[in-house]
């Protein structure tokens, strides 16, 4: 990568990291805190408070992406981050469950993921785009791992109001990173400001639909799994406060192991075989989990295989979406992609809970294996991306 691309990747990873760290700090402790506020004993409302963020994200990803195509990436990034910060500061004074739901909804209304990913695509050449997406995805994963360790300690020290305030401050810091560190993007094509043709073409494109189906299934599987994985760990002798001892090395190890696959996909223009290989690894992991009968060591190994595949796919899919989309419709394309991702989160939790209640842990893993098998069939039929010619380094 040239210096501009490296700076863009690092700074946008920082924006994602600061925002997601604040979000992840809330998730591990909200359910524990809820009974202390008015109406918090109602588990349905507690679940709504947890899911309201994702619902708002799903609704607004496409409008935010389209707005960034029309008015520019950075102005829309500032607006989204400001809305997220406002929701965080509202959470500081939430002393009842309905205010908490409103705060979480307002946080989700700052739906900047599609905008930031479109900006990353604007600032990088195609042959380096998967690397930048991998940097962003790895940062998000690291923030998730850090939150598993740090959130209970911070909650004990500063309480839920303090965590929400910290989330808001981290979001303001992300705005400063956008202002002073993220390179200025090239001007948007005039067609993006005057025509909806690119939007219609993006929504009807078959290859985009394949990629969107993939990210949907990936997140259905992820969230369905985590309905049953924590209780499974407890049954295998790992107490809930010690779960990070498995998650942290697995996540860090998966980052290391994903790097060769991403480099191979980039340098050899082999995105399709790497994607198919990762989906196949995901299928093997889910099928093995469905037949699982071993101890923690085997479970950790299978989770490592899952997260290697997951991280490779998280890096490749947005890169492929940005390459397949027309430049003037890139924000919309990534907005649709992020919307299907968020819907996968919602349906993953819903399906995982229902299947676990009726068919147990094995049933959840079996469902995940079936869904991944369907994805594998769909992925085999995708068109291989065209080779990317080395272009002169862009200047912005």
198-383: CATH number: 1.20.1250.20
How high is the mean pLDDT of the chain? Answer: 82
Q: Can 1-181 and 198-383 be said to share one CATH topology?
A: yes
What residues contact 257, with CB distance under 8 A and at least 6 apart?
Answer: 304, 308
Give 215-244 pLDDT, tens digit per residue: 999 988 987 887 788 888 888 888 767 877
Cα separation values, 111 from 67, 168, 233, 266, Å = 11, 15, 33, 29
Residue (of 123, 178, 97, 117) closest to 3 by Cα position: 123
Q: Specify the residue for token string 């085999």.
A: 380
Residue 390 confidence (pLDDT) above 60: no
Contact 75/179 with Cβ under 8 angstroms?
Answer: no
Q: Per-residue confidence at 392, pLDDT binned at 50, 70, 90?
A: very low
Q: Per-residue confidence at 372, pLDDT binned at 50, 70, 90?
A: very high
**With DSSP H G I counted as helix, E B as strand and the rest as coil, what are the percentages for the chain, rounded to 5?**
85, 0, 15
What is the predicted pLDDT for the residue at 395?
Answer: 30
Q: Give pTM, 2 decimals.
A: 0.72
What is the predicted pLDDT for the residue at 202?
Answer: 62
Give 169-218 pLDDT, tens digit per residue: 999 999 999 999 888 887 765 544 444 555 566 666 778 889 999 999 99
Q: Which CATH architecture has domain 1-181?
A: Up-down Bundle (1.20)
Give 76-128 pLDDT, tens digit per residue: 999 999 999 999 999 999 999 999 989 988 998 988 887 888 888 888 887 77
What residues contact 347, with CB distance under 8 A and at least 6 apart?
Answer: 216, 220
What is the predicted pLDDT for the residue at 217?
Answer: 95
Domain boundaries, the chain: 1-181, 198-383
Contact 290/232 with Cβ under 8 angstroms?
Answer: no
């Amino acid at each position: 990568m040239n210096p501009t691309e490296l700076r863009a990747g690092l700074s946008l990873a920082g924006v994602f990291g600061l925002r997601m760290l604040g979000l992840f700090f809330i998730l591990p402790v909200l359910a524990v805190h809820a009974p202390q506020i008015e109406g918090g004993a109602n588990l349905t409302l507690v679940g709504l408070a947890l899911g309201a963020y994702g619902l708002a994200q799903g609704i607004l990803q496409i409008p935010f992406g389209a707005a960034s195509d029309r008015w520019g990436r950075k102005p829309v990034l500032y607006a989204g981050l400001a809305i997220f910060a406002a929701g965080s500061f509202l959470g500081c004074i939430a002393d009842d469950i309905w205010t908490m739901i409103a705060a979480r909804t307002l946080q989700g209304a700052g739906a900047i993921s599609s905008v930031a990913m479109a900006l990353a695509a604007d600032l990088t050449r195609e042959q380096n785009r998967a690397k930048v997406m991998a940097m962003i995805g790895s940062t998000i994963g690291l923030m998730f791992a850090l939150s598993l360790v740090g959130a209970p300690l911070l909650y004990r020290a500063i309480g839920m109001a303090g965590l929400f305030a910290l989330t808001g401050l981290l979001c303001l810091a992300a705005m400063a990173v956008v202002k002073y560190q993220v390179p200025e993007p090239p001007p948007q094509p005039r067609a993006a400001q005057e025509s909806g043709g690119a939007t219609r073409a993006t929504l009807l494109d078959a290859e985009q639909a394949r990629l969107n189906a993939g990210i949907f299934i990936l997140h259905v599987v992820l969230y369905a799994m985590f309905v049953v994985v924590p209780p499974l760990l407890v049954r295998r002798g790992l107490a809930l406060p010690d779960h990070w001892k498995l998650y942290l090395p697995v996540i860090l190890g998966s980052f290391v192991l994903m790097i060769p696959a991403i480099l191979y996909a980039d340098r050899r223009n082999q995105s399709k075989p790497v994607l198919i290989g990762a989906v196949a690894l995901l299928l093997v992991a889910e099928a093995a989990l469905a037949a699982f009968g071993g101890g923690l060591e085997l479970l950790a190994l299978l989770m490592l295989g899952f997260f290697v595949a997951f991280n490779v796919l998280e890096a490749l899919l947005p890169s492929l979406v940005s390459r397949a989309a027309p430049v003037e419709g890139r924000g919309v394309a990534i907005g649709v992609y992020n919307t299907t991702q968020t819907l996968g989160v919602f349906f993953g939790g819903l399906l995982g809970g229902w299947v676990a209640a009726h068919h147990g842990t094995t049933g959840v893993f079996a469902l995940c294996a079936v869904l991944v098998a369907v994805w594998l069939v769909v992925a085999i039929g995708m068109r291989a991306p065209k080779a990317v010619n080395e272009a002169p380094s862009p200047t912005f």
